[in-house]
């Protein structure tokens, strides 16, 4: 199949199979994303972040944990250190590169745990209704009543400091918005004709929720997850800044800012550079999230 024929096959208005319809939808969504320069900028930054994390040992010019007290607080570009050194003489660029692995680790785990928990709670509440809906939604309201970072601090204080506990704490505070979205979608879907037909065929509640309601909620959750990533990164950095996230000598960006804040007036680069890294990645997720919202939910995107 030539490139022109493949393009025509993907852009057809009358797909001959479910597979063709799915691939056509994905291709049209990609074309829409590709036409948004800001979304592509965000995607490019995130792809670069993933590549940097994957090839960190090859890209890092120095050992991120190697200390050199004779070369502490060197300015940008001094003695082969492109971004300078910190208070213990460790190369900031190398620590940034290895820190990208921690950032992606936190983002990936939270993006798996929180939406899944929210999807389960929201769809069960919306489909079941009655007292189950009341109990689950009041529980959701309790979590929503507290600021995310404050609640995460409480969980980490109870669980203990560490990156795994930080991920768990952030996940426990991040799931309620996904539950709200999933419940709203389920309430719209559960009384539709095709759900009634599936129910008449003998399908149980579990099968209907997993096989037919979950797939229709995924697009809304993907958009919300992407837009929430910036907040998740900031929450992780906040916990690291307070010493409750990744522990020294781990090169976590929030912990790097905390370590450099003592020198912010005379040696600004120690805290500013990891801060700029957090800002850049957060901005990239927001740009990508805006583009995905326009593709997956055009009506919502147009109303923003």
Q: Cα–Cα distance between 40 and 50 in angstroms, integer? A: 15
Report the pLDDT averaged over residues 158-167.
86
Residue pair 78/91 in contact (Cβ under 8 Å)? The answer is: no
Report the predicted TM-score, pTM, of the whole model to 2 decimal places.
0.85
233 close to 285: Cβ distance less than 8 angstroms: yes
Cα–Cα distance measured from residue 258 to residue 279, given in angstroms and rounded to the nearest whole number = 15
* pLDDT over 80 (residue 3): no
Average pLDDT for the chain = 87
Q: Residue 297: what pLDDT?
A: 64
Report which DSSP code applies to 8.
H
pLDDT number for residue 135: 94
How many Cβ atoms are within 10 Å of 18's Cβ, its own excluded?
8
Which tokens in the block code for residue 35?
């036409």
Task: Give the tens place of pLDDT for each residue, 44-80.
Answer: 999 999 999 999 999 999 999 999 888 888 899 888 8
User: Maximum CA pair distance of the chain?
Assistant: 77
Q: How many CB atoms lie within 10 A of CB 286?
A: 18
Measured CA distances, 234 to 112, 211, 222 (Å):
18, 34, 19
CA dist 134 to 30, 114, 122, 126, 129, Å?
Answer: 40, 21, 11, 10, 8
For the 36-63+77-303 domain, the top CATH level (class) is mainly alpha
Distance CA 103, CA 55 (A): 15
Q: What DSSP character marks residue 91?
A: B
pLDDT digits (tens, 9 = 90+) for 71-120: 888 899 888 889 999 989 999 999 999 999 998 998 899 989 999 999 99
* pLDDT, greater one: 15 or 75: 75
Q: Quick one: pLDDT at residue 1?
A: 56
Of 142, 110, 116, the closest CA to residue 221 belongs to 116
- Predicted confidence at residue 58, as pLDDT, reads 94
The CA-atom distances, in angstroms, between 70 and each of 103, 160, 264, 279 are 30, 35, 20, 31
pLDDT tens figures, 129-149: 889 999 999 999 999 888 888
pLDDT for 293 beyond 80: yes
> Would you say 127 and 205 are in contact if contact means Cβ atoms under 8 Å apart?
yes
* For residues 200-220, average pLDDT: 86
Of 58, 90, 59, 63, nearest to 74 by C-alpha is 90
Contact 166, 244 (CB under 8 A): yes
pLDDT value for 124: 93
Whether 128 and 205 have beta carbons less than 8 Å apart is answered as: yes
Tell me, what's the pLDDT at 302? 41
How far apart, in Å, do the first and last CA atoms of the chain sit? 41
Q: Where are the domains of the chain?
A: 36-63+77-303
Which residues pair with residue 91 across a beta bridge? 85
Examine the pLDDT at 123 and tell me if it is beyond 90: yes
Cis peptide upstream of residue 249 (ω within 30 degrees of 0):
yes
Higher pLDDT, 128 or 303: 128
Q: Say what the pLDDT of residue 272 is.
A: 92
The one-character DSSP state at 209 is I
Place of tokens 């928990």: 117
pLDDT of residue 19: 79
Cite the DSSP H helix spans in 55-213: 56-59, 92-128, 130-144, 148-159, 163-189, 193-200, 205-208
């Amino acid at each position: 199949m030539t490139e022109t024929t493949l393009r025509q096959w993907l852009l057809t208005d009358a797909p001959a199979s479910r597979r063709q319809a799915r691939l056509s939808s994905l291709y049209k969504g990609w074309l829409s994303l590709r036409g948004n320069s800001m979304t592509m900028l965000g995607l490019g930054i995130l792809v670069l972040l993933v590549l940097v994390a994957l090839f960190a040992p090859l890209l890092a010019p120095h050992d991120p944990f190697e200390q050199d007290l004779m070369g502490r607080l060197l300015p940008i570009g001094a003695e082969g250190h492109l971004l300078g050194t910190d208070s213990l003489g460790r190369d900031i660029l190398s620590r940034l590169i290895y820190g990208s692995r921690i950032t992606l680790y936190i983002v990936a785990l939270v993006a798996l745990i929180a939406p899944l928990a929210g999807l389960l709670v929201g769809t069960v509440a919306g489909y079941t209704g009655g007292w189950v809906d009341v109990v689950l939604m009041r529980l959701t309201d309790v979590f929503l009543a507290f600021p995310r970072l404050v609640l995460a601090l409480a969980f980490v204080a109870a669980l203990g400091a560490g990156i795994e506990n930080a991920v768990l704490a952030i996940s426990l505070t991040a799931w309620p918005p996904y539950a709200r979205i999933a419940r709203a979608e389920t309430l719209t879907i559960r009384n539709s004709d095709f759900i009634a037909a599936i129910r008449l065929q003998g399908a149980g509640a579990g099968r209907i929720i997993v096989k037919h309601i979950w797939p229709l909620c995924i697009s809304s959750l993907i958009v919300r997850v992407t837009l929430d990533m910036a907040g998740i990164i900031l929450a992780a950095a906040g916990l690291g800044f307070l010493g409750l996230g990744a522990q020294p000598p781990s090169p976590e960006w929030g912990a790097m800012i905390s370590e450099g804040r003592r020198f912010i007036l005379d040696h600004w680069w120690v805290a500013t550079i990891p801060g700029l890294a957090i800002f850049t990645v957060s901005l990239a997720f927001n740009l990508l999230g805006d583009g995905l919202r326009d593709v997956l939910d055009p009506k919502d995107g147009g109303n923003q």
